[in-house]
Structure 1
Amino acid sequence: MELARRATLAILAGLPFADPVLAMAAATEHGGAAPRWLGCRTEPVSGDQAAALGNGGTSPFALHLPARGHSFAVHPTRELAVVFARRPGVFAVAFHSRTGERLAAFEAEANRHFAGHGTFDPSGRLLITAENKFDTGDGTLGVYAVDEGFRKLAELPGHGIGPHDVAVLPDGKTLAVAVGGILTHPQSKRLKLNLDTMAPSLVLMDLGSGRLVERFPLEGQLHQLSLRHLSLSPTGEIACACQFQGDADAAVPLVAILDRQGFRLVDELRGRAAGLRQYTGSITYDTSGAWLAVSCPKAHRILVLDRDGAIHHEVALEDGCGVAAAGTPGRFVASGGTGRLVEINAASGETEELAQAALAWDNHLVPLHLRG
């Protein structure tokens, strides 16, 4: 295990600030198009990358990674972002979100691995990461000092096994955590080690102290419905994307919503669960909060829902998993594992082709503080 960690550090230490050929080509071809979204991808020659997307599907820069990345934390005020290793990896890379310049590389401390997600606190001074402990299997949240080279300052409780996605609520004081309930270990790669005892939940906790504020557990027949990814609406509703680890024919909801009505499961998806392979990937509200997009990559579909969870449209996208709000209300951008990028009109379900490239987009697209 230690040799693997040293190998990761060695690779990270040798990373260029950005791929100069790709960056130069993008700047020449697209006139230095401004980045609007971030996504991980794999190219046949260049391998694993963290890449930017601009309007129209342009790619202003791509940053080499030592292995597959998963998602990003975007700084609230600076042109700074951090990409995290895909679970259960241990590396993270901080970079300039406009130029792709690599600024820092760090890893989870000994006996920890990242879960692929993180977020900055409202001040931007702290980075909060979802992690898991090797020895006990407990989830934990790492707290890192941004201006000290991402030195780890402390840990907060993860309130369960397998915290995955994290998001700060609009009050700036409460952290939402999708506790997936799935135990993994780097030595076992992505093998799920505790399917019989899973205990997923949506957790609300105090960002400063780690104190549990409220827990919304999935129990009984739904104890294998892993909460994976989160999206916050502009007014603070929380949408959760789920992946079921039980009977392949079970009629289970795949989306949960926490709003003023409380925590509820989207029953309309129960009848669709088997056809969707009981798996959702990314989830996101549009910039107005009126629409919700959910990717179902195993079924090659993007679902467009209203804020109550009613399905309005299905968009075909082969291996489509990344989905993010576009700058215009009622619009989404989605990416697929075949290199296709599309923009989706939520009201009509119509799509606009943005790009098709010989590469594979990975799990998530993350907006860079889109405005209008």
Structure 2
Amino acid sequence: MSLSRRTFLQQASVISTLSLAGLPYAVRAESANEYWWSAGSDHSDGNGVAGFSDNGNSRLLETGFRGHGLCVSPDDGRIVMMARRPGMRGAELTADQNLTLFDVRPGRQFQGHACFSADGARLFTSEIVDGGDGRIGIRNAHDFSWLGEFSSYGTEPHEIKMMPDGVTLAIANGGLTPSADDGRTADKNALVQSSLVFIDSRDGRLIHKYSLPENKASIRHLDIAPDGTLVIALQVQRQWLDDTEPRALVAIRRPDEPLQLLEAPGNLWLALRDYMGSVVIHPDYGVAGVTSPRGNLVVFWELSQGKLLGYFPLHDVCGIALSQQHDCFVVTNSAGDMRFIDPVSLKELKPLRRHSDTVRWDNHLLGPLPVSV
């Protein structure tokens, strides 16, 4: 870490400490509320799009299917949520709380994630055909009519996001060949053909393709910094390994550099139980937070040097996003808890703690958004 950055973080830490005294929150409380949305469920197992505001309001809009990832249109703030395995439907939520459902095409399955084109005109969806070959579906983003598809240049594409150039799609190919019984690879001897792929969203041309040195690791989720740095969350298929050695679960790809695994002590990797669930980058601090619901931890890395900063414990934590108003990380879990974490001290900002008695949060969190709860 450079001297200038260390000085900056020390100064930010002082500001964070003062914030905990309460005065800045009294001032910020007068500002407009922020809203986050996630796939979620209620206590009667109704599934839908779940919303939460920083004043504690929450609600669930039922869709009839369990959702997974969400994305937001850059032009009008509409939210799209995609179904998880088996992915047969998607849902759109407008700013005035209208829900529209759309279906996958015959012979395809949605894979839990989507993203909009830079102008908001097209919706790209991660999909598979029979056998697991990856496709990126292309739809009209307003009426969801079919426009075409590209290859994902891999097996089982999962999260997809648009790069800062507004043209290049980043694709996390999970590499798990679906089987008839559970939708995942059944053969322990099969390689997990995972890859990070970049394609041109205008014509589907392959730009770059990167693989991991560990052939039992699946690239699942990613986030992208404004400079094009990607942080990637991995899941290792331990049931197909013949040892108990720790495996790295987070990777980074900086512009014009190869894909690299981030470092952490072996006992931390083992505590995370081979599973990272979601990732978000705080661009102002150059810090990434990655959640592990199996390990009950959120782990943080500084990105310029790839240095492990620390972790925050929360049972079954998976959703993670940012708060602009409070300048911090926001995390959620399946118990309806919402925690706000300072990006410098990595401590909870307890005056902001929230809990929903009606909504159980699912894997991913999106926000803050203009769609109110």
User: What TM-score, normalized by structure 2, do the two folds share?
Assistant: 0.83
Give the counterpart letter for 2:61 in structure 1. L
Give the counterpart letter for 1:255 in structure 2. V
| 2:221 equivalent to 1:225 | no
Distance 1:288 1:106, change over 3 A: same
Distance 1:234 1:94, change over 3 A: same
Distance 1:330 1:74 in 2: 20
| 2:319 equivalent to 1:322 | yes
Contact residue 338 and residue 360 of structure 1 kept, 8 A: yes
2:287 is matched with which residue? 291
Distance 1:352 1:217, change over 3 A: same
Counterparts in 2 of 1:69-148, with a 5 A limit? 69-96=67-94, 98-102=95-99, 104-134=100-130, 136-147=131-142
2:365 is matched with which residue? 365
Structure 2's unaligned 5+ residue stretches are 1-28
Task: Name the structure, 1 or 2, with higher relative contact order (CA <8 Å, separation 6+).
Answer: 2
Distance 1:90 1:155 in 2: 17
Distance 2:313 2:245 in 1: 24
Give the counterpart letter for 1:241 in structure 2. A
Deviations 1:48-99 (A, max 9, x none): 121222224432x421021211011210110211111012221101111x33
Counterparts in 2 of 1:169-318, with a 5 A limit? 169-184=163-178, 188-193=181-186, 195=188, 196-219=190-213, 222-246=214-238, 247=241, 249-260=244-255, 261-268=257-264, 270-288=266-284, 290-307=286-303, 308-318=305-315
Distance 1:331 1:64 in 2: 29
Give the counterpart letter for 1:141 in structure 2. I
User: What TM-score, normalized by structure 1, do the two folds share?
Assistant: 0.83
Distance 2:224 2:369 in 1: 13
Q: RMSD of the alignment, in Å? A: 2.2
In the TM superposition, residue 368 of structure 1 has moved relative to its aligned partner by: 4.2
Distance 2:85 2:265 in 1: 27
Contact residue 234 and residue 288 of structure 1 kept, 8 A: no
Which stretch has the larger CA shift, 108-117 or 192-201? 192-201
Give the counterpart letter for 1:42 in structure 2. S
Distance 1:225 1:310, change over 3 A: same
Q: How many residues align?
A: 332
SS in 2 for 1:299: coil
Contact residue 159 and residue 171 of structure 2 kept, 8 A: yes
Identity across the alignment (%) = 28
SS in 1 for 2:154: coil
Distance 1:236 1:328, change over 3 A: farther
Which stretch has the larger CA shift, 337-346 or 271-280? 271-280
- Which contiguous aligned blocks of 4+ residues in structure 1 show a shift greater than 4 angstroms? none
Structure 1's unaligned 5+ residue stretches are 1-29
Distance 1:191 1:174, change over 3 A: closer
| 2:35 equivalent to 1:62 | no
SS in 2 for 1:262: coil
In the TM superposition, residue 243 of structure 1 has moved relative to its aligned partner by: 0.3
In the TM superposition, residue 289 of structure 1 has moved relative to its aligned partner by: 5.1
Distance 1:237 1:159 in 2: 21
In the TM superposition, residue 183 of structure 1 has moved relative to its aligned partner by: 2.1
Distance 1:329 1:211 in 2: 40
